Amino acid sequence: MPIRLPETLPAFDILDREGVMVMGEGRAARQDIRPLRIGLLNLMPMKITTETQFARLIGATPLQIDLSLIRMSDHQSRHTAPEHMETFYRTFAEVEATGEKFDGLIVTGAPIEHLDFEQVTYWDELRRVFDWTQSHVQSTFGVCWGGMAMAWHFHGIPKHILDHKAFGCFRQRVLVPTSPYLRGFSDDVLIPVSRWTEMRQADIDKVPGLVTLIGSDEVGPCLVEDAAHRSLWIFNHFEYDSETLKREYDRDVANGTPINVPQNYYPDNDPSRVPLNRWRSHAHLLYGNWINEIYQSTPYDLNEIGRG
C-alpha cells in the first residue's frame, strides 16, 4: 500500500520516479481503509530533503500512510520557500487546537547541538509537543537532536559536547535481537552519524525502563526504547540519502570549516570516489518495523489513543 501525499509536494514526484508507491488525495479517499496517520515535526532547515527522506522510509510498508507535515509555530524557516511552508505545513499550535490524534509522530533532528536545550527559541513549545504526545500520539520517534531533546525532557538525561565531530558510517551492535523493532536485523549494522554531541550509556542506565537496542563502543548508544512514553530515540541517521554526508563534507570544505573526511563512507576513505550506501536495507527494516508495531497496537478509533 502507498503513502498518501499531496500530488504537488516535491517528494511525490521524487518518490514516484524511485518506484515508491505514492497516492494522491483523491485516489486515497476512494479506498475503504483507515490509513495510519503519521506526523512529521520537521526541525531541519532543508525541509524538502528531510520530507523526502522520511516519506521514502515510511512509504515502503504494506500499509497506507497519511503523512502530515508539522512545524514549530513561531520559528520561520530561512532555507525553504515560504510558499512551500504555507502550502504543505501546519503549525503545531494549529494541530493542537484541532484536538486530532496521530498513530505516530517523527521528531527530526536540528542543527542546534551547540545550544543548551533551554536556549533553543522554540524549546517551551517543543516541551508542550512532547507532553501532548502522551495523550495524542500512539508512538513517537525522536531522531538525533530530537531524540536527545526527548531524553532531556522526560528523564533529565544530558547531552555531552564532543571534542570532535562524530562523522561517517559507524558499525553498531544489535544488543536486543528479540526486539520487534529489530526484526530481520543483522548482528551488526552500519549507520551514518553526524553530530557534535553524544548521549552516554551510563546516563541512560540510571533511568529504570530505558533499553538500548543498538549501540557502539565508538559512538555510544544509537537506538533507545522508552516504553513508558511509547517512544524510540535514535541518535544517528538511518534516513540519510547516499550523498547526504558528502553534501555536508563538501559544504564544510567550501566554507573553510575544519572537518574530517567522514569515516567508512567513501571507498578507501577517498572523497574523490562515489560513496556507497550500505545502510539502506536496515533503514527500511527499522522504519517498517516501527510502522508495523504501531499498526499492531494503535486503536482503530483514533480518539482512544492516550486513554489506556
Q: Which residues are part of the catalytic machinery? A: 144, 237, 239
Give the pairing type, strands 65-71 and 102-107: unpaired
C-alpha cell belonging to residue 164: 570532535
Amino acid at residue number 12: F
Q: What ranges in the chain are assigned the alpha helix state H?
A: 10-18, 25-29, 47-58, 82-88, 92-98, 123-136, 145-155, 201-205, 244-255, 280-297
- Tell the residue number behind the cell numbers 517523527, with chain if given: 106
Report helix angle 123-136 to 145-155, nearest 10: 80
CA neighbor of 225 nearest in space, from 293, 126, 271, 306 = 293
Distances (CA, A) of 138 to 37, 146, 200: 10, 17, 27
- Report how far residue 187's alpha carbon sits from residue 158's, in angstroms, rounded to the nearest whole number: 28
CA atoms of 232 and 223, how far apart (whole Å): 7
How far is C-alpha 147 from the chain's CA centre?
Answer: 8
C-alpha to C-alpha distance for 103 and 124, rounded to whole angstroms: 24
**Identity at 288, one-letter amino acid code:** G
